[in-house]
Structure 1
Amino acid sequence: MQNIVQLINNFQVYILLGFLVLILILFILLITTNRSLNRLEKKYKRLMRGVNSTDLEELINSYLNKIDKTQENYKYMKDLYENLNKKFKKCIQKYSIIRYRAFEDVGSDLSFSIALLDENNDGIIITGIYGRNQSTTYAKPIDKGMSRYELSDEEKHVLNNCINN
């Protein structure tokens, strides 16, 4: 036992320096750990901002519920868009009109032909022929850009304008 005490007394300075170095190292570790903890605490506060409870599981579940609701809304909007797009394809998207003089003895260009077509070139041509004694209106269906009825030159012209524009 005396040998150990005498050995400690002989190396007392070195032991003290070793402990001081160890204390210094531990102090540096304490400072770096404290800084890391402060950064982590800031991140945690930023994550938990606007939340009354501090339960992280509850926060994650609320965000997952919001994601599920957003996905439901997205699906609803997508279905609505597809339905509207289908309906829109059948709406009049192209039109063309031409006015002309059907008879030489009638004054102005009072006769007309109108083509109204959808995206698939389905629709109708309406022709109004104005004469001095009478006025007549015709409607001819158009299916994929063609009519099963004979078209006048003016109707062909208005149909081609409508398809090409």
Structure 2
Amino acid sequence: MNSNFLNSLGLGGLDVGIVLVVLAALSFVLLVMCIVLCVEHGKLKKRFNRFSQGRDAKSLEKEIGDVFAQNVAIKEVVDKNKRDIKTLFRRMETTFQKVGLVKYDAFPQMGGKLSFSLAMLDEKNNGYIINSVHGSDGCYTYSKEIRAGKCDLVLGTEEQKALGIAMQI
């Protein structure tokens, strides 16, 4: 069969049956695509209905705005917590974190190890050594300042041990 339309397109020698088969195949593909799109649209509509649950667009808009406002408030709280943690870390640098304790008998006739040397240091090994000497006539307490793990005064054996224990922590 000869068609003027096919001749004008330059397809005059093409069989009309082939054209109809190609058009039928394309129609079938388009039908399948329409069915897939309808199914996807139905799923999306169900999800939207579940999300909105009877609320109108205005209430959804308000709820979304509230969520954003809550996010801003949460961010402010998180930022404040970060600042507070930095402050705590700065303060902790100067608190006593390292402790060394040595108990001993200051005098041979005294038992029970009632005398002690206590070293208390911060993160940078600054702090104090407290030495308490217990004798039969009383208890005497002395303190020595420590800077960067060193003392300007001579340390006794027990004080050196307490300082060594504290600095190993």
Q: What is the TM-score with the length of structure 1 in the denominator?
A: 0.73
Tell me the residue number matched to 1:163: 167
Residue 149 of structure 2 is aligned to residue 108 of structure 1: no
Tell me the residue number matched to 1:132: 136
In 2, Cα distance between the equivalents of 1:51 and 1:120?
A: 63
Shift of 1:34: 2.0
Structure 2 gaps of 5+ residues are 1-16
> 1:43-122, aligned counterparts within 5 Å?
43-46=47-50, 48-49=51-52, 52-55=55-58, 57-122=61-126
SS in 1 for 2:86: helix
In 1, Cα distance between the equivalents of 2:80 and 2:124?
A: 27
Q: Deviations over 1:93-122 (max 9, x none)?
A: 111111112222323322110111121112
Shift of 1:44: 2.3
> 1:32-47, aligned counterparts within 5 Å?
32-46=36-50
Specify whether residues 26 and 94 from structure 1 end up closer, same or farther in structure 2 by C-alpha distance, changes over 3 A only.
Answer: closer
Tell me the residue number matched to 2:148: 144
In 2, Cα distance between the equivalents of 1:97 and 1:144?
A: 19
In 1, Cα distance between the equivalents of 2:149 and 2:52?
A: 62
Structure 1 gaps of 5+ residues are 1-13
- Counting aligned pairs with the same residue, the percent is 28
Size of the aligned set, in residue pairs, is 147
In 2, Cα distance between the equivalents of 1:97 and 1:31?
A: 82
SS in 1 for 2:80: helix
User: Partner letter of residue 45 of structure 1?
Assistant: N
C-alpha RMSD of matched pairs (Å):
2.9
In 2, Cα distance between the equivalents of 1:77 and 1:150?
A: 45
Specify whether residues 26 and 157 from structure 1 end up closer, same or farther in structure 2 by C-alpha distance, changes over 3 A only.
Answer: closer
Q: Deviations over 1:64-92 (max 9, x none)?
A: 22221121111011111111222222222
User: Partner letter of residue 98 of structure 1?
Assistant: V
In 1, Cα distance between the equivalents of 2:65 and 2:45?
A: 21
